[in-house]
């Protein structure tokens, strides 16, 4: 490994560089799945094409989310989600064989997995890919998802990160335990409130020692957890001022955790709508937005909150005057929105739409467009803007969701990347052969050294 441990400083130092990752989304309203140009959401070909395009653009990482359960709406799978998404680790293992340098990031939750099993599967991906695997740690503790499993909904929301921390510490110890002076592998024993583990690792270390750790979760507990455990945060703070604020917050937390100010990299979620001129980019944005939320999607989106059929309503007309049938929007399970007071929300939305003169479709488009996360403009203007992020160290990169699969990265790779390279803020080659090297991360510290006293949870 070429990396070395930099002196740990409590003063943040920007690298002056940014990197890209690609987030191939599965369940979302941001990808156009129904246009003539749209590919399949499940065919390997879509994933291969995106991953290879990203690699041509020297992207650091190819990223897959995790959805353990289809969202449900009025007792049926949510109509917009049925295409589903293949298991991340299986997909990434297949992609490892058609790529050479790009990192392969699997989102996997700590609530419904077991540390010994997941550590082994991730170590396998890391070996198969020559040291390119990463684990995006999420907690996904809700009971709706939990009902999929024998342990349905058993984890209290307040415990999710205590549980996650014990999980991650155990996984790290398993990865650390292959080679010791005493022999090829030593037993890992962990006895705690959430896990009792007695395991001997079954695989040697990978070319990058162990998988890189990403984290996605934005609560104060989530940020502290990332400050202690993660190498990279997949953040929800792409807008410049917000990104600067988030960096400051993270630096404070990672210094407090004793890891120094530069320990954790930040890559926010983002969307790019680009063209040769600002005018063309604005027109393209109109087109993208009109296809992201079609008439069916607009009605289905409102139905999530109204808890009833709204198909009789005109998507180009005003919001429904009838009220939601549920007090809580719990009919749509797993939407992430249940718990909001539906009637109150409906009143608020009707008033807002009326005020702004928006139809159902326009209103839903305005609610679902990731305004903060969208970079629209000419290649040169957006490159100038991103160079400012690099210069100030607001972020270490962007995790980009293409709005079209499989061609949605072409513009970025063909036009934006060269502009960034010209400005000296984007890699011109891969820095090494492993993800850890390509991200410029320090070599891992053995977990037994770093955690003086194992976490007991
Ligand atoms: C940018 C971002 C992406 C996420 N992606 C996923 C995902 O793909 N699957 C998932 O189950 N949870 C995902 N999560 C949410 C995690 O489940 C997270 O652990 C959860 O929000 C609870 O943590 P929190 O309360 O700290 O936010 C994501 C969160 C963020 C901020």
Mean pLDDT of 382-405: 97
Q: What's the confidence (pLDDT) of residue 329?
A: 45
Q: Whose CA is nearest to atom 5 of ligand 1?
A: 65
In-domain check, residue 456 = no
* pLDDT tops 50 at residue 453: no
276 vs 290, more confident: 276
Residues 295 and 432 placed together within one structural domain of the fold: no
Distance CA 359, CA 352 (A): 11
Interval 8-37: pLDDT, tens = 899 999 999 999 999 998 777 788 887 889
What is the pLDDT, as a whole number, of residue 324?
83
Q: Write the DSSP assignment of 415-437 as a string of letters.
A: IIHHHHHHTT-S-SS-SSSSHHH
pLDDT of 217-247, one tens digit each?
899 999 999 999 999 999 999 999 999 999 9
Strand, helix or coil at 400? strand
Contact 112, 191 (CB under 8 A): no
Which residues, other chains included, contact 229 with Cβ-Cβ below 8 Å and sequence gap of 6+? Answer: 137, 165, 168, 213, 215
Angle made by CA atoms 176, 179, 184, in degrees to the nearest 5 = 130
> Does the pLDDT at position 456 exceed 50?
no
DSSP state of 413: I
CATH number of the domain that residue 70 is part of: 3.20.20.30
Identify whether 10 is part of a domain: no
CA of 335 to the centre of ligand 1 (A): 13
Is the pLDDT assigned to residue 317 strictly greater than 80? yes
Q: Whose CA is nearest to atom 10 of ligand 1?
A: 66
Ligand 1 centroid vs 107 CA: distance in angstroms?
A: 9
Tell me what pLDDT residue 308 has: 84
Domain for residue 205, yes or no? yes
- pLDDT band per the 50, 70, 90 thresholds, residue 296: confident
Query: Does any ligand 1 atom lie closer than 6 A to the CB of residue 148?
Result: no
Assess whether the C-beta atom of 217 lies below 6 angstroms from ligand 1: yes
* Ligand 1 atom closest to Cα of residue 65: 8
At 396, is the secondary structure helix, strand, or coil?
coil
Q: What is the pLDDT of residues 180-228, one digit of tens each?
A: 666 677 899 999 888 889 999 999 999 999 999 999 989 999 999 999 9
State the pTM of this model: 0.91
Percent of the chain clearing pLDDT 70 (strictly above): 89
Task: Please give the share of the chain, as a percent, with pLDDT higher than 90.
Answer: 66
Picking from 94, 89, 166, the residue whose alpha carbon sits closest to that of residue 123 is: 89
The pLDDT assigned to 450 comes to 43
Short-list 384, 442, 447, 383, CA closest to 415: 383
How far apart, in whole angstroms, are the C-alpha atoms of residue 333 and residue 445?
A: 41
Residues 165, 222 within the same domain: yes
Q: Is residue 455, in this structure, part of any structural domain at all?
A: no
Report the separation in Å between the CA atom of 313 and the middle of ligand 1, taken as the mean of its atom positions.
33
Report pLDDT digits (tens) over 42-62.
899 999 999 999 999 999 999
- Nearest to residue 101, comparing CAs of 46, 52, 135, 134? 52
Query: What is the number of structural domains in the chain?
Result: 2
For residues 38, 42, 46 and 47, what is the CA-based torsion angle, rounded to 10 degrees?
A: 140
What is the C-alpha separation between 222 and 136, in angstroms, rounded?
13
Give the Cβ contact number of residue 130 at 10 Å.
16
Bridge partners, residue 199, by sequence: 188
Going from the Cα of 277 to the center of ligand 1, the distance in angstroms, rounded, reads: 35
Q: Which of the listed residues 339, 368, 397 is the one where a domain comes to its end?
A: 368
Phi, psi of 266 (to 5 degrees): -125, 125
Per-residue pLDDT band for 1 (boundaries 50, 70, 90) equals: very low
Owner of token pair 């990197």:
19
Same domain, 243 and 378: yes
Position 116 in a domain: yes
Ligand 1 pocket, 372 CB below 6 A? no
Residue nearest to atom 16 of ligand 1 (CA): 138
C-alpha dihedral (447, 449, 452, 457), degrees to nearest 10: 10
One domain, residues 131 and 257? yes
Residue 19 Cβ < 6 Å to ligand 1: no
Task: Note whether 244 and 312 are same-domain residues.
Answer: no
Residues 303 and 431 in one domain: no
Annotated binding-site positions for FMN: 107, 157, 161, 219
The mean of the pLDDT values for the chain is 88
Residues in a beta bridge with 212:
134
169 lines ligand 1 (CB under 6 A): no
**Judgement on whether residues 390 and 301 belong to the same structural domain of the protein:** no
* pLDDT for the residue numbered 330: 47
Tell me the sheet residues that pair with 106: 64, 135
The stretch 405-433 carries a mean pLDDT of 97
The reply to whether 229 and 316 lie within a common domain is no
**Per-residue pLDDT tens digits for 73-104:** 667 776 665 567 899 999 999 999 999 999 99
291 and 434 housed in the same domain: no
Question: Mean pLDDT throughout 61-66?
Answer: 95
Residues 264, 360, single domain; the answer is no
Give the model's pLDDT for residue 152: 65
The pLDDT of residue 368 is: 82
Give the residue, 384 or 5, on which the prediction is more confident.
Answer: 384
User: Predicted confidence band at 404 (pLDDT cuts at 50, 70, 90)?
Assistant: very high
Question: Ligand 1 pocket test: which of 138, 148, 163, 249 has the largest number of ligand atoms within 8 Å of its C-beta?
Answer: 138
If DSSP states are collapsed to H, E and C, what string results for 24-37?
ECCCCCCCECCCCC
Helix (H) / strand (E) containing 135: strand 133-138
Q: Is residue 9, in this structure, part of any structural domain at all?
A: no
Whole-angstrom Cα distance, residue 76 to residue 133? 35
447 token code pair = 């977990």
Q: Which residue range forms the structural domain that includes residue 331?
A: 279-368
Whether residue 401 sits in one domain with residue 340: no
Structure confidence at residue 304 (pLDDT):
79
Does residue 457 form part of some domain? no
Q: What is the per-residue burial (b if ≥16 Cβ within 10 Å, else e) of 304-337?
A: bbbbeebeebebeeebbeeebebeebebbbbbee
State in Å: Cα 130 to ligand 1 middle: 27
Ligand 1 centroid to Cα of residue 439, in Å, is: 22
Is 7 a member of any domain? no
Q: Average pLDDT in the 418-446 region?
A: 95
Is the C-beta atom of 111 inside 6 A of ligand 1?
A: no
Residue 105 Cα to ligand 1 midpoint, Å, equals 14
Last residue of a domain, one of 368, 386, 401: 368
- The answer to whether the peptide bond before residue 406 is cis (omega within 30 degrees of 0) is yes
Task: Assign 2 a pLDDT band (cuts: 50, 70, 90).
Answer: very low
Output the CA angle 371-374-377, nearest 5 degrees: 120
Average pLDDT of span 357-364: 94
Of the candidates 317, 351, 368, which is a domain's last residue?
Answer: 368
Same domain, yes or no, for 223 and 156? yes
Banded model confidence at residue 145, pLDDT cuts 50, 70, 90:
confident
Strand-pairing partners, residue 374, are 271
Q: In this structure, what token pair is assigned to residue 373? A: 């996360």
Range of 66-80, 250-264, 367-381 with top mean pLDDT: 250-264
């Amino acid at each position: 490994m070429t990396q070395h441990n930099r002196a740990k400083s409590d003063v943040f130092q920007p690298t002056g560089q940014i990197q890209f990752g690609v987030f191939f989304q599965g369940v979302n309203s941001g990808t156009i799945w129904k246009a003539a140009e749209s590919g399949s959401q499940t065919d390997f070909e879509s994933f291969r094409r995106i991953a290879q395009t990203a690699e041509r653009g020297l992207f650091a990482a190819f990223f897959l989310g995790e959805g353990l359960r289809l969202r449900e709406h009025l007792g049926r799978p949510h109509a917009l989600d049925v295409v589903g998404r293949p298991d991340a680790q299986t997909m990434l293992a297949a992609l490892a064989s058609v790529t050479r340098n790009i990192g392969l990031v699997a989102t996997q939750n700590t609530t419904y997995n077991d540390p010994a099993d997941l550590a082994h599967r991730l170590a396998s991906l890391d070996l198969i890919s020559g040291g390119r695997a990463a684990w995006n740690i999420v907690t996904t503790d809700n009971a709706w998802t939990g009902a999929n499993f024998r342990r349905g909904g058993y984890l209290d929301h307040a415990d999710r990160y205590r549980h996650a921390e014990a999980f991650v510490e155990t996984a790290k110890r398993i990865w650390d335990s292959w080679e010791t002076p005493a022999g090829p592998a030593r037993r890992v024993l962990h006895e705690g409130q959430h896990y009792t583990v007695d395991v001997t690792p079954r695989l040697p270390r990978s070319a990058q020692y162990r998988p890189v750790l990403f984290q996605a979760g934005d609560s104060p507990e989530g940020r502290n957890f990332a400050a202690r455990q993660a190498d990279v945060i997949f953040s929800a703070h792409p807008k410049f001022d917000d990104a600067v604020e988030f960096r400051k917050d993270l630096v404070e937390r990672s210094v407090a955790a004793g890891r120094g100010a530069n320990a954790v990299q930040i890559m926010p979620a983002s969307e790019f709508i680009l063209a040769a001129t600002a005018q063309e980019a604005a027109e393209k944005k109109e087109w993208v937005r009109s296809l992201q939320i079609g008439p069916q999607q607009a009605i289905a989106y409102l139905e999530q909150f109204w808890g009833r059929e709204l198909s009789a309503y005109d998507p180009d007309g005003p919001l429904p005057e009838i009220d939601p049938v549920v007090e809580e929007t719990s009919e749509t399970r797993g939407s992430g929105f249940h718990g909001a007071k539906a009637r109150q929300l409906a009143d608020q939305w009707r008033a807002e739409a009326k005020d702004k003169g928006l139809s159902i479709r326009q209103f839903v488009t305005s609610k679902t467009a990731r305004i903060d996360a969208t970079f629209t403009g000419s290649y040169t203007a957006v490159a100038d803007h991103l160079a400012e992020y690099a210069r100030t160290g607001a972020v270490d990169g962007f995790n980009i969701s293409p709005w079209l699969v499989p061609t949605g990265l072409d513009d970025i790779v063909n036009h934006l990347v060269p502009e960034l390279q010209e400005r000296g803020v984007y890699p011109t080659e891969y820095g090494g052969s492993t993800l850890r090297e390509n991200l410029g991360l320090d070599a891992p510290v053995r977990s037994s050294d770093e955690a003086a006293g194992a976490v007991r949870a």
